[in-house]
Amino acid sequence: MTEPAITPELVAKHNLTPDEYQKVLEILGRPPSYTELGIFSVMWSEHCSYKNTRPVLKGFPTKAANILVGAGEENAGIIDVGDGVAIAFKIESHNHPSAVEPFQGAATGVGGIIRDIFTMGARPVAALNSLRFGELANPEVRRLFSGVVSGISHYGNCFGIPTIAGEVYFDKSYEGNPLVNAFCLGVLRHDQITRGAAHGIGNPVFYVGPATGRDGLAGAAFASQDLTEESAEQQRGAVQVGDPFMEKLVCEACLELLATGCVAGMQDMGAAGLTCSTCETAARAGTGIEIELNKVPQRAPNMSSYEIMLSESQERMLIVVHKGREEEVKKIFDKWDLPWAEIGTVTDTGRMVVRHDGKVVVDVPAKKLTDEAPVYQRESKEAAYMEGVRAFRLDGIADTTDAASDLKKLLANHSIASKNWVYRQYDHMVRDGSVVCPGSDAAVIRIKGDSLPITKAEYAAKQAGQPAPVSPPVPDKYVAFTCDCNGAYVYLDPYEGGKAAITEACRNLACAGASPLGATDNLNFGNPHYPEIFWQLKESVRGIAEGCRAFSAPVTGGNVSLYNQRGALGAIDPTPTVAVVGLIEKPEHITTSWFKDAGDAIILLGAPVDTTDPLQGLGGSTYLQTVHAKKTGLPPRCDLEVAKVLHTTLLGLIYTGEVKSAHDCSEGGLAVCLAESCITQQSARETPRLIGATVDLSSIKDTRLDALLFGETQSRVVITCAPLNATKVIERAKLMGVPAARIGTVGGDVLSVKTATGEFSAPVSELHDAWWNSIARAMA
* Residues assigned a catalytic role: 47, 94
Phi, psi values for residue 683, rounded to 5°: -85, -20
Helix (H) or strand (E) holding 164: strand 163-170
| Euclidean distance between CA atoms 510 and 451, whole angstroms | 25
Residues 720/364, Cβ–Cβ less than 8 Å: no
- 206, β-bridge pairs: 319, 342
Ramachandran angles phi, psi of 294, nearest 5°: -65, -20
Q: Which helix (H) or strand (E) holds 652?
A: helix 640-655
Instruction: Give whole-number Cα distances, 688 to 437, 513, 591, 626, in Å.
Output: 14, 23, 18, 26
In sign, the C-alpha dihedral spanning 126, 452, 72, 578 is positive
Cα 150 to Cα 103: distance, rounded to the nearest angstrom: 6
**Comparing C-alpha atoms, which of 146, 182, 96 is closest to residue 565?**
96
Contact residues for 500 (Cβ-Cβ < 8 A; gap 6+): 486, 489, 543, 635, 636, 638, 714
Q: Is 465 exposed, middle or buried (0-12, 13-18, 19+ CB in 10 A)?
A: exposed
- Report yes or no: 520 and 556 within 8 Å, Cβ to Cβ: yes
d(CA 617, CA 644): 19
* Per-residue CA distances from 533 to 227, 382, 384, 650, 737 (Å): 16, 9, 11, 37, 39
**Is 724 exposed, middle or buried (CB count within 10 Å of its CB: 0-12, 13-18, 19+)?**
exposed
- 269 DSSP assignment: -
Q: Which of 493, 499, 495 is nearest to 386 (CA)?
A: 493
Helix, strand, coil shares, percent, the chain, to 5: 40, 25, 35
Rounded to an integer, what distance in angstroms lies between the CA atom of residue 562 and that of residue 50? 10
Alpha-carbon distance of 480 to 517, in angstroms, equals: 10
Distance CA 445, CA 447 (A): 6
Distance separating alpha carbons of residues 229 and 162, to the nearest angstrom: 35
* Cα-based distances in Å from 693 to 412, 598, 671, 717: 20, 8, 11, 16
CA dihedral for 320, 324, 329, 330, sign (positive or negative): positive
Within a 13 Å sphere around the CA of 1, how many CA atoms are in the beta-carbon half? 14
* Sheet architecture: strand order including 758-763: 661-664, 717-721, 601-605, 740-746, 693-696, 750-755, 758-763
SS3 150: helix
